[in-house]
Amino acid sequence: MTDILPAVTDERTSTALAHRSEQAELKNSRSRLSWIADEDLATLRFRHPTLAAVLSFFFGGGGQIYTGDTRMGIILMMASAFAFASAIAIDFPPFLWMFLGTISGVLAFKKAQAINRYLDACQAHDRALTSGHVRALVHTQPPLPLDPHQAGIGDAYRPVPSPTNARYQRIGERLQKLATLHNSGVIDDGEYQERKFEVLSELRGASKSDIEDALYEFLPLIDHGILARSDIDFVKQLHG
């Protein structure tokens, strides 16, 4: 038994170190995407660096637009068009146009690489969540009592199973997962609150009685601090 304990401790230590390393890589790779807003990260897709470079070289900023930096892409396109037109006007080789295309191509190449690095880091986190790096953290926390029949919560509640109740339970489970991601450092405070509001917004247009039923279903989440007072006030404003 004494031989097993150090092995378990070493495994937990290595798991924690690996998770911290993945967190650091995710934050570092995110910091390299300064031109991409947080709300656009969910729709981000892998980009081909070579294609980005070619688009920028020949179309002056096309690679920047391809990688999501539309503003910079338009500026470089205008500069490239001006350089090319000037070369034609004075009947001179378009050295400035080629120079701008080269610089723009290199920058677009690096932007595409930065996007791919960030998405690789996201996938590494997803694998960690499903392969055990964070699962150990989840298992050390007591499971949330989403069952309204639990003692102290459901003594006066006798629900009839319905699709509506199942819907509330699915929302509750998603909120619980977001809390786990937040506690493990995968998402920061701002992202956590924003995504909570997105999930809770699915109740928009519900009747007052449905909102009350949903809040009752969410009592365990309120007791565990996952839903704050501001979240409850937000839900109350969603009724149709």
> Cα separation of 238 and 233, whole Å?
9
Of the two residues 237 and 112, the one the predictor is more confident about is 112
Mean pLDDT over 120-126 rounds to 77
Q: Quick check: 129 pLDDT over 70? A: no
Could you tell me the pTM of the whole model?
Answer: 0.52
Least confident of 49-58, 76-85, 159-168, 218-227: 159-168
Q: Do the Cβ atoms of 222 and 232 come closer than 8 Å? A: yes
Q: How confident is the model at residue 157 (pLDDT cuts 50, 70, 90)?
A: very low
Higher-pLDDT residue of 222 and 142 is 222
For 7-26, how does the pLDDT look when each residue is reduced to its tens digit (9 = 90+)? 444 555 555 555 566 777 87
Residue of higher predicted confidence among 42 and 150? 42
Domain positions in the chain: 4-132, 163-236
Residue 158 has pLDDT above 50, yes or no: no
Contacts by 38-42, CB closer than 8 A, 24 or more apart: 38/190, 38/191, 38/194, 39/194, 40/68
Across the range 28-48, mean pLDDT stands at 87
- Rounded distance between C-alpha atoms, residue 174 and residue 166, angstroms: 12
* Pairwise pLDDT comparison (88 vs 127), residue with the higher score: 88
Query: What pLDDT is attached to residue 125?
Result: 67
Instruction: Return contacts of 8-16, CB within 8 angstroms, 24+ apart.
Output: 12/136, 15/132, 15/133, 15/136
Q: How confident is the model at residue 120 (pLDDT cuts 50, 70, 90)?
A: confident
Q: Which of 5-14, 55-64, 108-117, 185-194 has the lowest mean pLDDT?
A: 5-14
Question: Rounded to an integer, what distance in angstroms lies between the CA atom of residue 111 and that of residue 46?
Answer: 11
User: Which of 59-68, 80-89, 150-159 has the least mean pLDDT?
Assistant: 150-159
Buried b (16+ CB within 10 A) or exposed e, 41-80: eeebeebebebbbbbbbebbbbbbbbbbbeebbeebbebb
Q: Is 100 helix (H, G, I), strand (E, B) or coil?
A: helix
Summary mean pLDDT of the chain: 77
Q: pLDDT value at position 235?
A: 82
Q: How confident is the model at residue 222 (pLDDT cuts 50, 70, 90)?
A: confident
Spell out the residues 6+ positions from residue 31 whose beta carbon is closer than 8 angstroms to its own: none
Is pLDDT of 187 > 50? Answer: yes
Q: 215, 234 in Cβ contact below 8 A?
A: no
